[in-house]
Amino acid sequence: MRAAVLRSYNADLSLETVPDPTCEADGVVLKVLACGVCRSDWHGWVGEHPRVKPGQIQGHEYCGEVVEAGPLAKWKQGDRLVAPFILACGACPDCQSGHQNICKSQRLPGFVEPGAFAEYVSVPFAHNLARLPEALSPVVAAGLGCRVTTAWHALTGRAAVQAGEWVAVHGTGGIGLSVLLLARALGARVIVVDVVPEKLTHALGLGAEAAIDARQGDVAARIVEITGGGAQVSIEALGIEATTNASIECLRPLGRHVQVGMPVGHTAHMQINMNAVYMKNLALFGTRGMPSWRYPSLLEMITRGAVDMSPLIAREVALSDASAELRAFNGPTPPGVAVISNFLG
């Protein structure tokens, strides 16, 4: 099969012909219909992700059609499925208590094993997959894979956002836009922060009530003023120190901060304003991925028209364009996300 292989950090992916994947007993092999290009892929591409090594086929936001199913899998040839990026074992105490996203035996295509920057991908633990609704295009479904599922769990599984609450979103990349769209669908009021005017204007067009250019400074103070005392919930979507502190400091007393941006490499350890946490009795949540059992609630919300996630997709690209999309994360990116839909180009 054709695949884009990481051979050296910060270098173009190598377009190669590699062996087709093998199907595991409890898994499936999917013909990849679409795969998102995510900032988490960029962390691996630049060498910041500790699990991503040269030789890796990246790509963890995928959907596809079953071409082979193992004897223990419930799926059959022709089924169209979408996958969470964390594949949980389903049998451990964490899985049995509904917390599959912290499963200690999790499998991670795109990070530890071959991912979906390829024509085909092997997916073990196939009980994690969900059927792709007919009304949902593979391109939009692939865009859900990491950013939207993580945003959904951050809002509903961690922060328990309520209608009428203010939600501040620090960073309007794929995660930030997903939070904006989903929070609005839940009835929350959203304020966004970024350094790219085009992205702020784009977010206002998608329903944000206010947009702040972080280059002008005093982000937290301006959010406190706009919201009349601070946001109830704040989502950090970049994984850097400046936005993490702004997220904490913009909250009103008893507010909830959710760390969605991935702090790895030089951002893994931060100087945090813990006095703000202490004085305002704040709650700090971490989140990564989404338990697979929560997929139906998200898909149902989308298919019944309660939220339109299609504005998230900025462009469809070919597999040969993946390197350029990864390189774009080196600086401020334009609005929306890229999804690979052509694996031969």
Q: What is the pLDDT of residues 179-230, one digit of tens each?
A: 999 999 999 999 999 999 999 999 999 999 999 999 999 999 999 999 999 9
Q: What is the pTM of this model?
A: 0.89
Q: Average pLDDT over the chain, rounded to whole?
A: 95
At residue 264, the pLDDT reads 84
At residue 268, the pLDDT reads 87
Res 140 pLDDT > 80: yes
Using alpha carbons, select from 13, 19, 21, 17 the residue that is nearest to residue 2.
Answer: 17
pLDDT band of 21, cuts 50, 70, 90: very high
pLDDT in tens, 251-284: 999 999 999 998 988 888 999 999 999 999 999 9
At residue 215, the pLDDT reads 96
Using alpha carbons, select from 257, 245, 254, 235 the residue that is nearest to residue 182.
Answer: 235
Res 115 pLDDT > 80: yes
At residue 296, the pLDDT reads 87
Res 145 pLDDT > 80: no
**Is 280 in contact with 247 (CB distance < 8 Å)?**
no
What average pLDDT score do residues 335-339 get?
A: 91
Q: Give the distance, in angstroms, between the CA of residue 7 and the centroid of all CA atoms in the same chain.
A: 24
At residue 31, the pLDDT reads 98
pLDDT in tens, 46-56: 999 989 999 99
Q: Is 262 helix (H, G, I), strand (E, B) or coil?
A: coil
Q: Is 186 helix (H, G, I), strand (E, B) or coil?
A: coil
235 - beta bridge partners?
169, 258
In whole angstroms, give the CA distance from residue 243 to residue 240.
6
Spatial neighbors of 303 by CB under 8 A, at least 6 apart, are 133, 135, 136
At residue 8, the pLDDT reads 97
At residue 334, the pLDDT reads 85
